[in-house]
Amino acid sequence: MMPSTRPLEGITVVSLEHAIAAPFCTRQLADMGARVIKVERPGVGDFARGYDERVNGLSSHFVWTNRSKESLTLNLKDAEGKAIIGKLLDQADVLVQNLAPGAAAGLGLSAAVLHKKNPRLIVCDISGYGENGPYRDKKAYDLLIQSEAGFLSVTGTAGEQAKAGCSIADIAAGMYAYSHILAALIKRGRDGSGSHIDLSMLESLTEWMSFPMYYAYQGASAPVRSGAEHATIYPYGPFTAGDGKVVMLGLQNEREWKVFCESVLQDPALAHDARFSTNSRRHENRAELRKLILDMFAPLTAQEVVARLDQAQIANASVNTMQDLWEHPQLAARERWTEVGSPAGSLPALLPPGVNNTFDFRMDAIPALGQHTDAILAKLGYAQGEIDTLRARGAV
């Protein structure tokens, strides 16, 4: 039987979070067993709660990034609200915040101030552009960072740029914040000291853009926008079979190119055609090669093409829809689905990526707004009458 102790049990995280980047970070910490106290504005909460109503009336973004957390409503501009956050942070291990630029510092919640009272505290500030530089105070949302980081310039078709279909700038920032916090916890375990992590969405997504940046080194041309095809490796992308269905395939080296010609296209001579003898030449002559491949696929169904690719051990994949992904046989076979509670009842949820044989992931409910306020304040020593008074005046 798998032991129940999770690696971050006993760690308390306070998060002043909204949207995706910080909530996605803290959800990873909660998955690993940390106690995450999500501080939200009274009556309103994290504005991501209102993005849509697609999941039994709940927001799809919020359901994704907020399981296993405690929701505390708190007015940080109220004197008692400030006192409460101070008490929490005196006892906390980690503070994560992605408020507007300068907002946390304006509330007296800068790392410099907090470390005077709790030198072991790990403070992670997530922002669009970082805490200094000419863009410091500029507002940042996911699509805007995709644009600033050059992602749109290499994504889409020749005629039109396209954004990613998910919030990749937020996801990148959230995951780098998560890994930085884990590293800071390890460091604190060695030297006893807290850390200040200054993490920007721009720098996170720019790291992911390193391949196209290096490809365009010293003013060279950047990868062209090529739709679902790889911009610089060919053949690598979607090809339509004779039955109209699309097969995604990819070749990575010259050995695979030779096998592809011999076993899939069944034209061994093509492997030695000078136009296609290296990846660079195949890339330069991709229009001609694409026509040849499509002509050879025309008499075949997609199933027959995939059978040949599998037999030749050439990488391929289905072009799945969201409904296909919900029903993916590999996810089912590996038992990646579970359920979590929510204000709208039980909901399906994917287990976090990866399997560790020494612990299971925490998969607790998605909180209602302010669901844990009374319990948290009671642990801090507030009587129920005091909590009721604070609520009546809008402090919690």
Integer Cα distance of 395 and 74 in angstroms: 6
At 189-205, the pLDDT tens digits run: 999 999 999 999 999 99
> Of 85, 91, 123, 129, which is closest to residue 107 (Cα–Cα)?
85
Average pLDDT over residues 355-380: 96
230 has catalytic annotation: yes
Going by DSSP bridges, is the β-strand pair 236-240/35-40 parallel, antiparallel, or unpaired? unpaired
Q: Which residues contact 38 (CB under 8 A, 6 or more apart)?
A: 15, 17, 23, 26, 46, 66, 69, 70, 71, 72, 367
Integer Cα distance of 355 and 7 in angstroms: 13
> Of 132, 207, 122, 214, which is closest to residue 171 (Cα–Cα)?
207
Which residue segments constitute the domains of the chain, with CATH numbers given? 12-209+331-392 (3.40.50.10540), 236-319 (3.30.1540.10)
Average pLDDT over residues 372-386: 96
In this prediction, residue 227 has a pLDDT band, given cuts at 50, 70 and 90, of: confident
Q: What is the pLDDT of residue 231?
A: 87
Residue 66: pLDDT over 70:
yes
Catalytic residue selected from 115, 196, 230, 372: 230
Q: pTM of the predicted model, to two decimals?
A: 0.92
**CB neighbourhood size of 215 (10 A):** 14
Integer Cα distance of 269 and 273 in angstroms: 7
Integer Cα distance of 117 and 109 in angstroms: 11
**Which region holds residue 43: left if phi is over 0, alpha if psi is between -120 and 50, else beta?**
left
In this prediction, residue 3 has a pLDDT band, given cuts at 50, 70 and 90, of: low
At 244-275, the pLDDT tens digits run: 999 999 999 999 999 999 999 999 999 999 99
Integer Cα distance of 168 and 396 in angstroms: 33
Q: What is the pLDDT of residue 375?
A: 97
Integer Cα distance of 9 and 2 in angstroms: 16
Angle in degrees, CA 86, 6, 358, rounded to 5: 165
Residue 51: pLDDT over 50:
yes
C-alpha 178, offset from chain centre:
10
SS3 state of residue 90: helix
Integer Cα distance of 334 and 350 in angstroms: 11
249, 309 contact by CB (below 8 A): yes
**Residue 197, token pair as written in the block:** 């992590």
**Residue 337, token pair as written in the block:** 């689905």
| Cis upstream peptide for 235 (omega within 30°) | yes
Average pLDDT over residues 329-337: 96
Integer Cα distance of 67 and 79 in angstroms: 30
Residue 317: pLDDT over 60:
yes
Burial of 62 (0-12, 13-18, 19+ CB in 10 A): buried
Average pLDDT over residues 133-149: 95
C-alpha 77, offset from chain centre:
31
**Residue 199, token pair as written in the block:** 């993490």
223, 154 contact by CB (below 8 A): yes
Radius of gyration of the chain measured on its C-alpha atoms: 26
